[in-house]
Structure 1
Amino acid sequence: MDWASLVGLILVIAGVVSGQLIEGGKLSTLLQPAAFSIVAVGTLGAVLMQSRLSTFRRGLRMLRWIIIEPPDTSKKNIQEAMVWSVVARREGFLSLERYMSTNGDPFIDKGLRLVIDGIDPIRLKDILDVDISLYEMEQRQAAKIWEAAGGYSPTVGILGAVLGLIHVMENLSEPSKLGSGIAVAFVATIYGVGLANLFFLPVSNKLKEIIGKEVTRREMLSDIFFSIALGDSPRVVEERLGSQKG
């Protein structure tokens, strides 16, 4: 579990709530269903208009990474790579087949299969690099839905404010309705700006960092498979891994 994200989320909520209370305001003032509906639904619609449904769904699934970050298997992969290198050197590439489908990582299985099939090392590296590029593109596109939400929500919040003020102007003859209209106007702006800067954009940046780590891990594996396919000794593979860790 990523405690930094969890604590950050708690601090965001605590900061807004405490600020409202210190100023002598009421929490109920911040709870405006109309304002939230305008910002949330409007932002959702804008993001859906610019994204494919599959990309949007992938971005939603990635949200859990903010609290439960995918496990970092880099160290485990380095240990496995040394075993693959020794076994391939002693027993040949076909002996690597027993290591396939043992860790649930499709990228590792693909790399091992290419080595076992005797693919030319340069060609193998090209295939894996293309796979990495496609993975990175798809993941970053999915993460961008949160960045897009962070861009749209302040504008939608302003739209909500304008709608609230229009409602106020329409009811100038009814003072009892003025308070709710003004509240919707200002709270919509708070929702729009607050969600953008305290949730959507931080989520987007965190996901980009996680994706970057996974891309680096795959690039390391690509270099390992390339080295094994070249027939490098375990010592050379270890040196290559050392440069990766550095």
Structure 2
Amino acid sequence: MRYQLELFFTAIGFFTRIPVPGWVPWSTDRLNHSARYFSLVGWIVGLVGAGSLILFALVLPAAIAVLLSMAVTIRLTGAFHEDGWADTCDGFGGGWDKSQTLAIMKDSRNGTYGTVGLVLMLLAKAAALITLAGSSVWLAAVALLVAHPLSRLASTSLIHTMEYVREDELSKAKPLARKLGHNELAIAVLFGLLPLLLLSPPRALLACLLVAFTTLLAARAFRRKLGGYTGDCLGAAQQATELACYLALVTTWNSI
């Protein structure tokens, strides 16, 4: 049990700014095995986002509450996934071949594609959540609770099904190149799908289908352009599938 707790804290320390207890050891091997808890980290991010949204909405208009809650979750994660999305937009937009694409993605500076992509992603997520909050703040809160774990499960599935393509050993995402075992994948799936119980079956099904479809599209693009994935690709997949989940809920809230 202690080992599992250490893995969970390892995942928290890698994907959020939450301080990790000093007794938790660090190693790349533990980071590899902590992938089973990435979806559970999404629970924490979702809970913080939903809680802050509800609190802000007590004294502020729903639209402002949504924007502030997004800022809270971005601060909580250190914009880790947003950075991956921006880097992927830059690389795929400006790279002509695999080596050039990887070089652009590794550059810490944001280019035009990355800047535009990040702005559009944030606007799209904000618009979707504001639309849900316009009906009820609680609906937007539920969307956060569902989308964060489910989108992290989508990213985890890429680790399990695709090859890591960066060859440099200094890459901080290199340890995430190990495929998950069957038990590890089962844990990730459990924590990724369990929050869907907050939705009605038709809405949960549509959210799963749209997230799965978006994941397949992302995997196809990564495989065609790079032959596999990088850490930035995982962040991009998380952002795209998080948005896909919000859009599924927006399209079904008044129709199902």
TM-score by length of 2: 0.26
Higher helix share: 1
Flag the structure with larger Rg. Answer: 1
TM-score by length of 1: 0.27
